Amino acid sequence: MAIIKPFEAVRPQPEHAAEVSSLPYDVMNTAEARQMAEKNQRSFLHVSRAEIDFPEGTDEHSQEVYDRARDNFYKFMADGTLFQEAYASLYIYQQNMQGRTQTGLVACSSIEDYFNDVIKKHELTRPEKEEDRIRHMETLQAHVGPIFLTYPKNDEVDEIILSVTDNEEPVYNILTKDGVRHTVWLLLDKDKTDQLVSIFENKIPFTYIADGHHRTASAAKVGLKMKEQNPNHDGTEDYNFFLSVLFPDDQLQIMDYNRLIKDLNGLSDEEFLKKLNEKFVVSDAKPEGKKPKFIHEFEMYLSGKWYTLLAKKEIIKSDPIGILDVTILDENVLNPLLGIKDVRTDKRIDFVGGIRGLKALKQRVDSGEMKVAFALYPVSLKQLMDIADSGKIMPPKSTWFEPKLRDGLFSHLF
């Protein structure tokens, strides 16, 4: 069963919350982070991407950058931008984007649940990305980016959360530049806090990582290392837990995660289209393009023109991984035709979340930066959970969740 616990959050003073909150560190590059934090000395990007405080070209993985992140974090605490809650609490975090609302519970989750597979995974992680967050966490002695978890809907949890959001004033109510409203309530009622902890411990057998596999793995490894170094370890130490936001599965939506490739691996347009016809029914699409309407339908943009690709039955497998559109594209186009052997490491491929729309794909192909783009139908949350339950791993870059959690609204010291 799932273990959650209240924690003494480090969070912004209400008057600074809008300035502090930032997008997660891993949805932008350094140049974008510089632009986002420009003229905002309270932006949490000075903690999560401290290289923006150094000259361009500075190695973002140098120890001086991690040290600056630590200094900025504790400076924010010293000057009153951030403060630490006087007592351990849970929080309710609601996001509203384009009329869709999801409401989660901010808590600390157990690293033992991660190692014991109570927290289910669906992605592999890359050692260099883990190492970056490990060094960041160890230098700050804090978790400063919440992990996005989901759990099977529970009516009792819903009822408790609703009793708070309907009747109490939020501590934060922020509308960010991307049009997402972020509202946070502090759960003051100890009885309700205890009930929530008990419900997870006794009635929710698993939670699932929706977004944040690298941060979760890093937090778990840091906690394990600190456990091994502590001769008086008893399991209650803060390093045994990591910062998380848990949303019920019925409120989440996965968006498409689309592909761009720099070249056709030596093929002409005509040769490429001819080979595609062996595995797909290829037809002209609307001049302006359209998003795929159902599973196994793909949209492709090539040389100024949109095409619809419908996978032929003989290439569709019945197993949980083989049936995914990302697998179909990998096994029938990216690998055999375009020579993309590993989408995690190949420099010829890039990925664009569906929130940016088809225009982002078209622009990058039209600019000459990329040669061809593929728009995919999104993976369902049921598919994600079924794969995680089976112990299997989804292909890389299979899911894109929106809205993103904001960094800086909560941090956890350990």
Give how many domains the chain has, as a whole number.
Answer: 2
As a whole-number percent, the residues of the chain with pLDDT over 90 amount to: 87
Local confidence band at 356 (pLDDT 50, 70, 90 cut-offs) = confident
Same domain, 139 and 14: yes
What pLDDT, on the 0 to 100 scale, is given for residue 103? 98
- The pLDDT of residue 163 is above 90: yes
pLDDT averaged over every residue in the chain: 95
- The pLDDT of residue 94 is above 90: yes
Q: Is residue 37 part of a domain?
A: yes
Same domain, 280 and 343: yes
- Structure-block tokens of residue 331: 């096994």
Q: Is residue 286 part of a domain?
A: yes
Same domain, 185 and 287: no
Q: Is residue 397 part of a domain?
A: no
Q: Is residue 388 part of a domain?
A: no
Same domain, 210 and 277: no
Same domain, 194 and 338: no
Same domain, 325 and 284: yes
Q: Is residue 352 part of a domain?
A: yes
Using CA atoms, how far residue 155 sits from 102, 103, 174, 250, 368, in Å, is 15, 13, 27, 11, 51
Q: Is residue 137 part of a domain?
A: yes
Local confidence band at 123 (pLDDT 50, 70, 90 cut-offs) = confident
- The pLDDT of residue 125 is above 90: no
What pLDDT, on the 0 to 100 scale, is given for residue 10? 98
Same domain, 20 and 151: yes
What pLDDT, on the 0 to 100 scale, is given for residue 41? 96
Same domain, 180 and 323: no
- The pLDDT of residue 320 is above 90: no
Instruction: Give the domain range for residue 16.
Output: 4-253+402-413
Same domain, 294 and 202: no
The model's pLDDT over 194-248, given as tens digits with 9 standing for 90+, comes to 999 999 999 999 999 999 999 999 999 999 999 999 999 999 999 999 999 999 9
- Claim: this prediction has a pTM higher than 0.85: yes
- The pLDDT of residue 100 is above 90: yes
